[in-house]
Every structure is written in C-alpha cells, then in structure tokens.
C-alpha cells in the first residue's frame, strides 16, 4: 500500500468517481453484438462487417468512452474509431502490417530506439481501447513482454547510452500497467544520471478518466525527471467533464500536457472539427502537438486522408487559429531521424 504524504493528499484531494479503473477496464465491451446492442444499432446492417473486423483485431471499448457515443448514430465520430467494418478484411496495395518498420528498431525486448536522444519502452502490449486505425494493430506484442531479467537488461542498456536523455513509456498503453510496476520503472530511471525527461504516451486518461488515481499521481509527482504526458485525442467529443478533471489532476504533478491526433476520414477530416479540437484541448489545459498523417496499416485503408487533403486542412487551421493552437502535421517514415513535417511544403503547393 502506498503511503500518502499530507502534501500530496492536499494536492490531489479526491479520486474521480467511485468505480476502480481496473473494474471499468475489465467490464469493457468486447463483442460486436454487445457493442451494437448498447448503441441501438441494427445488427442486420452492421453485425457481419463488425464480426469480420473483430476477428482480425478484437473489439475493446470501456463504458466511459461508450457513454460519449450518440445512441443510434452509426456515423458518430467516436463510434467510427471503435466499430469494426468489413473493409478491414480487404487487402489494399501499399497498406502493410508494420508500416513504420518497428520490428527492425528493437535492440532489446521492449526497448525501441528510433531516435538518437530518445528511447521508447514498451511497458505493456495491452490497450484500454482498440482503435481500428492503430498502426500497431498487427504488432507482435507477445514478443515484447518483459520478464524481470529483460527489464534489468533494458535499464542497463539505458545506463550505457549517454546519448539518451528522454525515455518514453509507450505500448500498447503504458497506463494499463499497475502503479506498482510503473513506479518501479520510474524509480529505476531516476537513477540514470543522463536522463532528463520521462514522457508518457497514453490514451487511458481519455478513455477511462478514473485511471488518473492517487497512486498514479503519487509516483509521477515524486520523480525528479521532467514529465511530459502526450494524450491521444482525435475529436472534441472525447473531452467531457471527467476527462477535463483527469487532465487537471495530471497537471497538478507538474507535467506538461500535449496532444497528438491522427487524421482520420469520417472522424476529424473537417477544419471545423480540428479547430474545435484545438480550442477544447487548450481550454482543458492541453497543447495540440502533432496531427499525424495516416500510417498505411493493413486493415485500416478506409480511414485514409490523402496528404493533399491534410495540407488543405492545415491551411484552414493556420487561417483560423493562433499559431500555438495549430498542431504540426507530420508523418513518421521508417529509418528517418525524426518525424517528417508535411506542412513545410504548403507554400510550394500554392
Ligand atoms: S490506444 Fe493507441 S496503441 Fe492502443 S489501439 Fe489505440 S491507437 Fe493503438
């Protein structure tokens, strides 16, 4: 049991809601039938396609996320991110299983070093939600489950990599791991003198805001490392009151909060939606960071937005938002030393 100091009790006075996040996670909707029924969608129209996609990449949607989907609306932008379609079974040229070639960038199980100064630790292969467009939907997570020895090996490797000053907790979703494990990882990293920052990429505070509990705040608050939390929110409807509260609690640890989105056809490929997303994020205390061009992963071609359309959207955002609310449009290309900005070419195209 984690001991809470009076100062921390004062800084983080209450847990959000009474239900534990683990319970909400294990009660998630995991079948096409249950998903359609809970949203009042006609199985005659949707079940066959949903079952096809579900066999390729299983459904997982926790109740707090489901609650934000409009009942009976098959085009709801949040539903589109979680409802499998028959199109997932179509093989389309150029859409591959490992679009970012991550298998080749793994020096030690669970450790991915794509960039010189940053290393990515795969804390867990699990996610709280299965996003249909995910570029890691085929990633062999089972090969990257860390034993205690492998954990020690990854830490040793980081000790011997003075060029790395930032570690990124990724996954899956790293916050699916329990706080005991996360706190052990965080404490081990603190002992590596050349590390400056801990970055956490997570969708959990959005999907199950109850995840931002006191135990999480405790180990985050006590780390000497600068904390950066990168949320993953694609649509303004994903930000409701409990999510705003979770964000406020994360900020109370001194963390900087950023957001990354993926541009997705039928979800957020309209300027009005992206403007609203930036405004809502900022009101909640989060800065828009990246807008990812779509990664061509097998099974998700129906979400693709062309680079040209994405650039046109960026022109609208630049016209309508202050610069600090315009995310950078980027694509991750295998083997490149950083993400590749696509919006730099706007003037060339005009
Ligand atoms: S939460 Fe992130 S890693 Fe998990 S399925 Fe969604 S996009 Fe992929």
d(CA 177, CA 113): 21
pLDDT digits (tens, 9 = 90+) for 81-110: 999 999 999 988 888 887 776 666 565 667
Q: Which residue from 30, 78, 133, 173 has its CB within 8 A of the most atoms of ligand 1, so it is best to mutate?
A: 173
∠ CA 30-120-245, rounded to 5°: 55
Instruction: Pick the closest to residue 132 from 268, 305, 302, 269 (CA basis).
Output: 302
Ligand 1 midpoint to CA 33 (Å): 22
Task: Indicate which residue's Cα is closest to atom 3 of ligand 1.
Answer: 172
Strand partners, 171: 124
Cis peptide upstream of residue 172 (ω within 30 degrees of 0): yes
- The full DSSP string for 263-309 is --TTTT-SHHHHHHHHHHHHHHT-EEEEEEPPP-BTT-GGG---HHH
Per residue of the chain (350 residues), what is the pLDDT tens digit?
A: 333 333 433 444 444 445 799 999 999 999 999 999 999 999 999 999 999 999 999 999 999 999 999 999 999 999 999 999 999 999 888 888 877 766 665 656 677 766 778 998 988 889 999 999 998 887 766 666 677 888 888 899 999 999 999 999 988 899 999 999 999 999 999 999 999 999 999 999 999 999 999 999 999 999 999 999 999 999 999 999 999 999 999 999 999 999 999 999 999 999 999 999 999 999 999 999 999 998 888 999 999 999 999 999 999 999 999 999 999 999 988 777 678 888 655 454 44
d(CA 317, CA 278): 9
Atom of ligand 1 nearest to the CA of 171: 3
Structure tokens at 339: 């993400």
Ligand 1 midpoint to CA 132 (Å): 8
Is the CB–ligand 1 distance for residue 201 below 6 Å?
no
Ligand 1 midpoint to CA 172 (Å): 6
Task: Indicate which residue's Cα is closest to atom 6 of ligand 1.
Answer: 131
Ligand 1 midpoint to CA 207 (Å): 11
Are 293 and 330 in contact by the 8 Å Cβ rule? The answer is yes
Atom of ligand 1 nearest to the CA of 172: 3
Is the CB–ligand 1 distance for residue 235 below 6 Å?
no
Which residue reads 């066959």 in tokens? Answer: 48
Q: DSSP 3-state assignment of 231?
A: strand
pLDDT digits (tens, 9 = 90+) for 240-296: 999 999 999 999 999 999 999 999 999 999 999 999 999 999 999 999 999 999 888
For the chain, the helix, strand and coil percentages under 3-state DSSP, each to the nearest 5: 45, 15, 40
Is the CB–ligand 1 distance for residue 132 below 6 Å?
no
Instruction: Pick the closest to residue 82 from 67, 100, 95 (CA basis).
Output: 67
Ligand 1 midpoint to CA 299 (Å): 14
**What one-character DSSP code corresponds to residue 239?**
-
Atom of ligand 1 nearest to the CA of 170: 3
Structure tokens at 25: 């996670």
d(CA 173, CA 265): 23
Is the CB–ligand 1 distance for residue 130 below 6 Å?
yes
Q: Which residue from 99, 127, 211, 233 has its CB within 8 A of the most atoms of ligand 1, so it is best to mutate?
A: 127
d(CA 59, CA 42): 17
Ligand 1 midpoint to CA 127 (Å): 6
Atom of ligand 1 nearest to the CA of 207: 1
Q: Which residue from 134, 177, 259, 261 has its CB within 8 A of the most atoms of ligand 1, so it is best to mutate?
A: 134
User: Domains plus CATH for the chain?
Assistant: 21-89 (no CATH), 104-349 (3.20.20.70)
Q: Is the dihedral of CA 202, 203, 204, 210 positive or negative?
A: positive
Ligand 1 midpoint to CA 96 (Å): 17
Which residue reads 């994020």 in tokens? Answer: 281
Is the CB–ligand 1 distance for residue 131 below 6 Å?
yes
Query: So what's the pLDDT on residue 108?
Result: 60
Atom of ligand 1 nearest to the CA of 130: 5
């Amino acid at each position: 049991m984690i001991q809470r100091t009076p100062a921390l009790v004062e800084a983080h006075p209450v847990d959000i809601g009474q239900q534990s996040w683990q319970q909400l996670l294990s009660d998630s909707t995991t079948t096409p039938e249950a998903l359609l029924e809970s949203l009042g969608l006609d199985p005659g129209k949707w079940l066959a396609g949903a079952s096809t996609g579900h066999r390729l990449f299983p459904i997982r949607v926790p109740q707090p996320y489901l609650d934000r989907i409009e009942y009976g609306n098959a085009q709801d932008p949040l539903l589109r991110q979680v409802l499998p379609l028959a199109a997932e079974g179509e093989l389309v040229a150029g859409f591959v299983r490992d679009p970012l070639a991550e298998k080749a960038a793994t020096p030690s199980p669970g450790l991915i070093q794509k960039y010189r100064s940053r290393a990515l630790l795969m804390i867990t292969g699990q996610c709280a939600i299965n996003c249909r467009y995910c570029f890691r939907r085929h990633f062999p997570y089972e090969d990257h489950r860390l034993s205690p020895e492998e954990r020690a090996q990854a830490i040793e490797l980081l000790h011997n990599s003075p060029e790395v000053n930032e570690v990124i907790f990724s996954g899956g979703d790293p916050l699916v791991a329990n706080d005991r494990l996360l706190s052990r990882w965080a404490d081990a990293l603190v002992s590596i003198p050349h590390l400056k920052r801990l970055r956490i990429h997570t969708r959990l505070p959005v999907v199950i805001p109850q995840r931002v509990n006191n135990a999480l705040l405790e180990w985050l608050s006590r780390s000497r490392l600068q904390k950066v939390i990168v949320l993953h929110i694609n649509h303004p409807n994903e930000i409701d009151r409990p999510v705003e509260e979770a964000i406020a609690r994360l900020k109370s640890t001194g963390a900087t909060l950023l957001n990354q989105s993926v541009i997705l056809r039928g979800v957020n490929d309209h300027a009005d939606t992206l403007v609203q997303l930036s405004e809502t994020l900022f009101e909640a205390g989060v800065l828009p960071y990246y807008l990812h061009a779509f990664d061509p992963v097998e099974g998700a071609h129906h979400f693709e937005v062309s680079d040209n359309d994405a650039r046109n959207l960026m022109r609208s955002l630049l016209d309508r938002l202050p610069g600090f609310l315009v995310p950078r449009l980027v694509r991750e290309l295998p083997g490149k030393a950083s993400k590749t900005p696509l919006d730099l070419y706007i003037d060339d195209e005009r």
